[in-house]
Structure 1
Amino acid sequence: MADVKSTFLKVYSVLKSELLEDPAFEWTDDSRQWVEQMLDYNVPRGNLSRGLSFMHSFISLKEGKEVTDDEIFLASALGWCIEWLQAFFLVLDDIMDKSHTRRGQPCWFRVPKVGMIAVNDGILLRNHILRVLKKHFRDKPYYVHLLDLFNEVEFQTASGEMIDLITTLEGEKDLSKYSISVYHRIVQYKSAYYSFYLPVACALLMSGENLENHTDVKSILVEMTIYFQVQDDYLDCFGDPQTTGKIGTDIEDFKCSWLLVKALELCNEEQKKVLYENYGKPDPANVTKVKALYKELDLQGVFAEYQRKSYKKLTTSAEAHPSKVVRAVWRSIVGRIHNRQKLENQLRKE
């Protein structure tokens, strides 16, 4: 297991070389250089949690059986397809959100000479997934199921993004639209299916399982995603960009974040007026007032209590779940949770 990440990283270079020699396109030096730079900038620089989650899930399903070098290569290739999908979503999401940084560097569309070429780069990233699947999986019995799975998850994620975006239409900002149920729905479709369900579903398919026999797996994975998204929302507001690698913009972007929903539940009429007058405005003075209100409402303490209860509930549910892949996924992300908790605890002390 210690070698999984190093093996995984090596396969990225193999896939990149194959894509840069794809016979379906007549390459020039300029086009090859552009795509290589675009890939290196956007695909492998994250924490690779989705691809590695798939790898660990697949290996756990093979427990007690020999895992061949060919299977490890194929699993790595499929894991990178998930990371390619993540890169595709992030490149376009940053444009729509007018974000500034991602993973500690400028968003791809803000890199000099890139601009709106990033839209087409996003389309290329999505098409690369199909090229990799065709080259390495078209003779597998689960090939069509993989295609269906990626298409369905992409549709669900795009639909979740749509729900998120239409609640923040310029000139139609209305905080009354926001509730915990709306928040859960956005998280479920925008994040849960591609971040948590897709890696597990891919592992099940590659292990010869029928996804229809594992429909209950989705629900607990959605719960895990909501837990992680709440952490993301907290760090977006209170996190240090030098540590998180991203400048939070949820307040400026009028996002339906967990902090906002909780503030709306807790604040009195006077405090609610402060939210209505300042939330969703780009001026730093407005943002400061919203953050001050969050602290006045002790949302840091509310978050700490939510995190304690949710972590206990998820641990109990995951460890008792009949699917060993769910148990394996939960154990593989416990370390990530603890690392985040250390950061959050430090932020609360500050």
Structure 2
Amino acid sequence: MGEAEMLDYNVPRGKLNRGLAIVETYRLLKEGDELSEEEIFLACVLGWCNEWLQACLLILDDIMDNSHTRRGQLCWYKLPEVGLHAINDGVLIKCHIHRIIKRYFRGKPFYENLMELCDEVGLQTSLGQMLDLIVTHEGEKDLSNYTMAVYRRIVQYKTSYYSFYLPVACALLLAGENLDDFIDVKNILVEMGIYFQVQDDYLDCFGDPKVMGKIGTDIEDYKCSWLVVQALERANDNQRRVLYENYGKSDSVSVAKVKNIYEELNLQDVFFKYGLASYEHLISSIEAQPNAAVREVLEWFLRKIHCRQK
């Protein structure tokens, strides 16, 4: 397949929440000001850059996780005519992001900060992926390595920065703000990312693949997921033995045994209680923000996340 077909297959078929978040955040930050066509266009350009980054990361992540489906279709690398050529496709998408930013933002006062932001978030996400792989390898030797502290560290780097902080930071730069003035906002967005990933881990196990658009494989892939961490914290000796013997195996019997332990430990109820507590904590943190526009931005993000849990 050519480059156009590759981009069409991988970039625009998701919910586009990350890209739309940049446009919506910028609109909220500029509330009261009439946005010019150029301002709207540039916000959309950055939105698409975020979606291209998402596509790049998903292509590579699916290969590393040996995933089968994504967004209701076969993973890109699973297509017979693509295979491991998908690795180069992912790298190519990442390179295009820099070209797009140079084309449309060179000469803007925030250009250097924007490039540094994108590079830094790209590095953080790659480090998160590396940590995920290292921890998974260690977990195969000893499942007790999976702790909440380790889980939070993986998620912060692998998910929170690019999915939550990056869209808001891009919009702040577009609005002429200094990112150093919004460290508290960054911390809230990191917590939102963890809240989001916990939901994702729950849905990987208990969600409907037809609704999710993918088949969950966290158990088979030996992932340090929120569910297995919670199970290890609560399991008795017999339940822990079952987890050690069956977690990370791809046969349906082993997967069923792990899910049965999750149900015995009532992790579905644990998840909903966690979600309520996290939501209330985030609401409290958001209400403490002095900037009304920033509060509205964070509330918009939280609504997007919280509706997944209902």
- Within the alignment, does 1:76 sit opposite 2:44 as a pair? yes
In structure 2, the residue matched to 1:313 is 281
- Within the alignment, does 1:194 sit opposite 2:143 as a pair? no
Question: Deviation per CA, 1:50-79, whole angstroms, max 9, x where unpaired?
Answer: 111111111111111120011100110011
* Counterparts of residues 214-293 of structure 1 (less than 5 Å): 214-293=182-261
Change (3 A) 1:171 1:341: closer
Aligned match of 1:300 in 249, 260, 268?
268
Q: Distance in 2 between matches of 1:170 and 1:340?
A: 31
Change (3 A) 1:171 1:312: closer
Q: Distance in 1 between matches of 2:308 and 2:183?
A: 29
Q: Is the 8 A contact 1:200 1:325 kept in 2?
A: no
Question: Deviation per CA, 1:157-214, whole angstroms, max 9, x where unpaired?
Answer: 0001111001122894321111110010001000110000000110111111111121
In structure 2, the residue matched to 1:18 is none
Partner of 1:215, secondary structure, is: helix
Q: Distance in 2 between matches of 1:277 and 1:93?
A: 26
Change (3 A) 1:265 1:304: same
Aligned match of 1:183 in 137, 146, 151?
151
* Counterparts of residues 88-237 of structure 1 (less than 5 Å): 88-169=56-137, 172-237=140-205
RMSD: 1.4
Q: Distance in 2 between matches of 1:206 and 1:338?
A: 27
Q: Distance in 2 between matches of 1:191 and 1:179?
A: 18
Scaled by the length of structure 2, the TM-score of the pair is 0.96
Question: Deviation per CA, 1:284-317, whole angstroms, max 9, x where unpaired?
Answer: 1100000001000000011111111111221222
- 1:313 maps to a residue whose letter is H
The Cα of 1:335 is off from its aligned counterpart by: 4.2
* Counterparts of residues 14-33 of structure 1 (less than 5 Å): none
Scaled by the length of structure 1, the TM-score of the pair is 0.86
Q: Distance in 2 between matches of 1:86 and 1:123?
A: 12
In the alignment of these two chains, the number of paired residues is 310
Q: Distance in 2 between matches of 1:325 and 1:117?
A: 44
Q: Is the 8 A contact 1:56 1:328 kept in 2?
A: no
Q: Distance in 2 between matches of 1:221 and 1:263?
A: 26
Q: Distance in 2 between matches of 1:245 and 1:336?
A: 18
Partner of 2:141, secondary structure, is: coil
Change (3 A) 1:148 1:126: same
Partner of 2:248, secondary structure, is: coil
Runs of at least 5 residues in structure 2 that lack an aligned partner in the other structure: none
Q: Is the 8 A contact 2:139 2:222 kept in 1?
A: no
Q: Is the 8 A contact 1:279 1:290 kept in 2?
A: yes
Question: Deviation per CA, 1:95-146, whole angstroms, max 9, x where unpaired?
Answer: 0000001111111101120001100100110011011111111121111111
Q: Is the 8 A contact 2:139 2:146 kept in 1?
A: no
Q: Distance in 1 between matches of 2:101 and 2:173?
A: 14
Q: Is the 8 A contact 2:139 2:145 kept in 1?
A: no
Would you identify which runs of 4 or more consecutive aligned residues in structure 1 move more than 4 Å?
Answer: none
Q: Distance in 2 between matches of 1:66 and 1:171?
A: 53
- What is the aligned-residue identity percentage? 61
In structure 2, the residue matched to 1:58 is 26
The Cα of 1:217 is off from its aligned counterpart by: 1.5
Runs of at least 5 residues in structure 1 that lack an aligned partner in the other structure: 1-32, 343-350
Partner of 1:310, secondary structure, is: helix
Change (3 A) 1:118 1:133: same
- 2:265 maps to a residue whose letter is L
